[in-house]
């Protein structure tokens, strides 16, 4: 999932079309506030950001993205070619790659594919494993084991399989609509179940890791860690 932030409409549309044609799932914005709206709904793997943006500048935006998504890939693409701008992009913005315009479309594709592969390899080492048979969740180091209830397993399965790992609260409540315990269908009961799941994840996560499940305002919940199924 890739976020493109570019205020030039024609260039933004050209890049979006080209990247989509090469298999990227692109969501575009023309400003920092536009990206904030996207980030509230989608967990991106890659960010392609221009520096000359209206309102908050791209360098400040990159810094915020790096703080909130330390595992994401950030590519700056800008007309600023000065050495001090490049240094600021890496040092202050936390960019992985700094490209100066104009960038050949095919080169941009290769840069993003290369960065995506490198990130995937690093993220694989951070994947959790969920055993469907005995309802145990293994941490990324594969040594710390968490025991889940049947209902906690159901919630995780639903989030893993959902688009963008995000589901509305009502949908999660409906997962238990055919069970006898009516309390589990209430929003309050769901919040308590999510809180217990977060606490279990946190017992294994290291300090500074983002929450395993985050609340998405006006929607529901999003799973923010990668989980593999083990039968």
What is the rounded CA–CA span in Å between residue 29 and residue 74?
A: 15
Task: Yes or no: say if 35 and 5 are a contact pair by the CB < 8 Å rule.
Answer: yes
Please state the φ and ψ torsions of residue 20, each to the nearest 5 degrees: -60, -40
Q: How many residues does the chain have?
A: 231
Task: Yes or no: say if 123 and 226 are a contact pair by the CB < 8 Å rule.
Answer: yes
Q: How confident is the model over 187-225, as pLDDT tens digits?
A: 888 999 999 999 998 888 766 677 889 998 888 999 988
Q: Which two tokens stand for residue 128?
A: 């959790």
pLDDT at 46 over 80: yes
Nearest Cα to 193, choosing from 163, 161, 225, 155?
155
Read off the pTM. 0.58
Residues 6+ apart with CB under 8 A from 74: 46, 47, 49, 62, 65, 66, 93, 94, 95, 96, 97
What confidence score (pLDDT) does residue 112 get?
96
What is the rounded CA–CA span in Å between residue 149 and residue 43?
A: 26
- Domains annotated on the chain, with CATH: 2-124 (3.40.50.2300), 128-230 (1.10.10.10)
Nearest Cα to 11, choosing from 84, 102, 83?
102
Share of the chain residues as helix, strand and coil, in percent rounded to the nearest 5: 45, 20, 35
Q: 75-89, 92-106, 181-195, 209-223: which range is least confident on average?
A: 181-195
Nearest Cα to 51, choosing from 1, 88, 96?
88
Q: How confident is the model over 51-60, as pLDDT tens digits?
A: 999 999 999 9
User: How big is the chain by its Cα radius of gyration, in Å?
Assistant: 20
Task: Yes or no: say if 147 and 203 are a contact pair by the CB < 8 Å rule.
Answer: no
Task: Yes or no: say if 22 and 2 are a contact pair by the CB < 8 Å rule.
Answer: no
pLDDT at 101 over 70: yes
Contacts 24+ apart (CB under 8 A), 161-165: 162/223, 164/1, 164/41, 164/42, 164/43, 164/222, 165/43, 165/222, 165/223, 165/224
């Amino acid at each position: 999932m890739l976020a493109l932030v570019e205020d030039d409409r024609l260039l933004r549309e050209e890049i979006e079309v080209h990247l989509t044609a090469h298999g990227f799932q692109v969501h575009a914005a023309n400003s920092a506030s536009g990206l904030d709206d996207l980030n509230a709904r989608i967990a991106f793997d890659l960010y392609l950001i221009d520096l000359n943006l209206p309102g908050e500048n791209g360098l400040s935006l990159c810094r915020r993205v790096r703080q909130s998504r330390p595992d994401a890939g950030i590519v700056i693409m800008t007309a600023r070619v000065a050495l001090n701008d490049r240094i600021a992009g890496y040092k202050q913005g936390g960019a992985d790659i700094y490209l100066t315009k104009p960038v050949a479309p095919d080169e941009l594709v290769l840069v993003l594919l290369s960065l995506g592969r490198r990130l995937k390899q690093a993220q694989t080492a951070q994947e959790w494993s969920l055993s469907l048979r005995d309802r145990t969740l293994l941490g990324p180091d594969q040594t710390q084991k968490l025991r889940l209830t049947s209902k906690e397993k159901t919630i995780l399965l639903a989030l893993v399989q959902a688009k963008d790992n995000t589901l509305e609260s009502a949908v999660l409540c409906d997962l238990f609509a055919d069970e006898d315990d009516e309390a589990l269908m209430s929003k309050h009961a769901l919040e308590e179940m999510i809180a217990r799941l977060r606490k279990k994840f946190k017992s294994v996560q290291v300090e500074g890791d983002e929450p395993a499940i985050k609340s998405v305002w006006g929607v529901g919940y999003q799973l923010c860690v990668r989980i593999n199924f083990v039968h």
